[in-house]
Structure 1
Amino acid sequence: MSRLKSGLAMLVIAVVAVVGVGCSSPDEGQNSAPVQINLPDGRSVTVNGTPKRIVTLGGQWTDVALSFGVTPVGYYDGIKLQSGTTPPWFGDKLNDVPLLNPNEEIVAEVAKLKPDLILAPGFASMAGGFEALAKLAPTIDKISGEQIDPWQDMVTLMGTILHQPDKAKEIINGVDEKISSIKEEYPGLEGKTYAFAYIYGSDQISVLGDESDGAAKLFSSLGLKIAPRLVRESTKTGQPRIQISAENLPWLNADLLVIAASTPQLQKRFEGLPGYKNLSSSKKGANSMLSTVQITGLNEPSPNSIPFAFDQMKPALAAASQK
């Protein structure tokens, strides 16, 4: 049996393949060996054999599955439901796959798909629903104590469940190489500051202030650091993302500004605010205004969303890297 144990910070993997006495070869035995996952909530989930009918109730897991060449039999994606737009990093691989809506009879809909594995981050709080899902097939909620599960841990876990650990390493290395190539292309980013924000109301802006956040780790991999004022406010409030009003616009002063608005009207209003043109990033041409779909690729990073999002940001990254 392969055993996986989730720690508070990251998924810790200790693979102990035990092939029982029988007529199967070692390779066959390993490919069918059960995998036990010990989750942060105290539950232990065992996956027998290699799953063939996987349901992914979260964009990160959907992308991880697709990275392994596995098309889920059903999936939930919040951005797709809200905007009607499929994240572009999925390509056309989900065109014929049912999109599940958690506001409807999701347990019944999942049951129709006859899954042998359900990946459902964040669904543990669904009253009665999570237990019902768990009766259909092995069901995995969050695999870490972090707000957003680290994508590398998700890939590693999927590789273990599918008995493809080498493929998992290949996927992770591929993303790391992409990040390294961007860092090499823009060495001037080292030590520069950034602000990462989302405008969701006429006077409501959510801003990242915690360096341990999943999105922050991506920026850190490029040598960037959160603007000090935002870190101080996050530390003071104890919140990884702080809420500010338009009058606090100067708090976003940094070498790079990466931001999205929930509507085009809010974006236009934001760009017309007094002081917007005085931001360091505005003067350098280092503002990256992303769509809600695009910024999700950073907020919920996954193997294909990371390269996509960074490619959208390249003009701003180039400007920010200048002295």
Structure 2
Amino acid sequence: MILRSLVFATLLAATPTLALAQSFPVTLEHAWGETTIDTEPKRIVTWGWGNEDAVIALGVTPVGIPFHAYGGGEDGIKPWIEEALAKVEGEKPTVLANGSEPAFEQIAALEPDLILAVFSGITEEQYALFSAIAPTVAYSGDAWSTPWQDVTTTIGKALGKADEAEALVAETTAWLEGEVAKHPALKEITFASANDYDGSIAVYAPLDARMKFLTDLGLTLDPSVAENAPDDGAFYYSLSYELFDSLKGDIFVTYYEEQSALDEWLAKSYAANYPPIVNGGLAALVGTENVAAVSPPSVLSLHWGFPTYLDVLATAAEKVTGQ
């Protein structure tokens, strides 16, 4: 935890505080059209996952953020956000009511002048309701698939901090690449990723933001992931237990909230006999907060959670390559 805090503080300190002012209005395109932001926003509400992370990393405190039951503890605030907000003076964000549906009345009461749902899955109807409250920026491309880099730069443009956002992405990327370079075995292996879910193996498809994050770092997604995927554009798909071994790869990446649950799964015959696991290629990230930090990551959560994730990935890669 000390290492995480030092990395977190160092990278935030490296974020430039001086840049040319961005002019308004600015117009941003997204899945549900385009949104024009006339003046620099002062009261920002976020919805979805990781949007407030980018806002806070860019030096702005939202007035409202979603309750995150996964990784957020009893107060719904993820630990890397708590650490960042502890360094900020002034009023802390209101945590919105816990629920899968947006708390529109509560959001309206906060009188936002901008709503950010850049990484989300909001429907067109929800977008219309958000837009009736304040200008709203939705996701681009497929729902729940926007890479952390695009989340950061899009939010930077919305806040009038485009240059700062680009610099933050560049600095974070350079740090990630430098850390991965310390483990050359990671560039020599292929990987696949899945979890046991609802009576089958839920495989993360190539367009999933978690997979995009790893391939951006230079890791290779095994071709079998795409070969087994249905052509439906989903970010995950199901494989029966009988077909589990058709999912290839040198290492197998999976996520579990508790070690006991992982141990129980590993005792299943289809897991115990799965070739990547037999060969020592199990890369299991355990712990709700650890998983939340990288599944998928944000520009803020990476500083907190990547060192642990990297250790898990590198250990598995080094076992299978003998390094």
Measured against the shorter chain, the TM-score band is 0.7 to 0.9
Alignment partner, residue 16 of structure 2: none
Distance in 2, matches of 1:105 and 1:303, equals 24
Q: What amino acid is the match of 2:60?
A: V
Q: Deviation at 1:141? A: 1.4
Matches within 5 A, 1:72-91: 72-80=62-70, 84=74, 86-91=77-82
Q: Deviation at 1:237? A: 6.9
Instruction: Pick one of 21, 25, 42 that aligns with 1:34.
Output: 25
Alignment partner, residue 320 of structure 1: 316
Relative to the length of structure 1, the TM-score reads 0.77
Alignment partner, residue 222 of structure 1: 217
Distance 1:169 1:287, change over 3 A: same
- Whether the aligned pair in 2 keeps the contact of 1:65 and 1:158 (CA below 8 Å) is yes
- Whether the aligned pair in 2 keeps the contact of 1:186 and 1:317 (CA below 8 Å) is no
Q: What amino acid is the match of 2:250?
A: D
Tell me whether 1:260 sits opposite 2:252 in the alignment. Answer: no
Q: Deviation at 1:97? A: 2.5
**Bigger mean CA deviation after superposition, 164-173 or 234-243:** 234-243
Q: Deviation at 1:35? A: 1.0
Alignment partner, residue 125 of structure 1: 123
Q: Percent identity?
A: 25
Q: Deviation at 1:147? A: 4.2
Question: How big is each residue's C-alpha offset from its partner over 1:86-122, in whole Å with a ceiling of 9 and x where there is no partner?
Answer: 3333234458432223457711100111101011354
**Bigger mean CA deviation after superposition, 297-306 or 84-93:** 84-93
Distance in 2, matches of 1:245 and 1:266, equals 20
Distance in 2, matches of 1:176 and 1:104, equals 33
Match of 2:249, SS? coil
Matches within 5 A, 1:33-182: 33-41=24-32, 43-80=33-70, 84=74, 86-93=77-84, 96-101=92-97, 102=99, 106-121=103-118, 122=120, 124-125=122-123, 127=125, 129-145=126-142, 147-182=144-179
Number of equivalenced pairs:
291
- Whether the aligned pair in 2 keeps the contact of 1:189 and 1:317 (CA below 8 Å) is yes
Match of 1:49, SS? coil
Alignment partner, residue 204 of structure 2: 208
Q: Deviation at 1:251? A: 4.0
Could you tell me which runs of 5 or more consecutive residues in structure 2 were left unpaired when the two chains were aligned.
1-19, 87-91
Q: Deviation at 1:33? A: 2.1
Q: What amino acid is the match of 1:61?
A: N
Question: RMSD value over aligned CA atoms?
Answer: 3.0
Larger Rg: 1
Q: Deviation at 1:224? A: 1.9
> More relative contact order in 1 or in 2 (CA 8 Å, sep 6+)?
2
Question: How big is each residue's C-alpha offset from its partner over 1:182-212, in whole Å with a ceiling of 9 and x where there is no partner?
Answer: 22101121141112122333x33311232x4
Distance in 2, matches of 1:186 and 1:173, equals 21
Question: How big is each residue's C-alpha offset from its partner over 1:157-184, in whole Å with a ceiling of 9 and x where there is no partner?
Answer: 2222222222112210122112211221
- Whether the aligned pair in 1 keeps the contact of 2:191 and 2:220 (CA below 8 Å) is yes
- Whether the aligned pair in 2 keeps the contact of 1:234 and 1:240 (CA below 8 Å) is no
- Whether the aligned pair in 2 keeps the contact of 1:79 and 1:293 (CA below 8 Å) is no
Q: What amino acid is the match of 2:53?
A: D
Relative to the length of structure 2, the TM-score reads 0.77
Match of 1:37, SS? strand
**Bigger mean CA deviation after superposition, 135-144 or 73-82:** 73-82
Could you tell me which runs of 5 or more consecutive residues in structure 1 were left unpaired when the two chains were aligned.
1-26
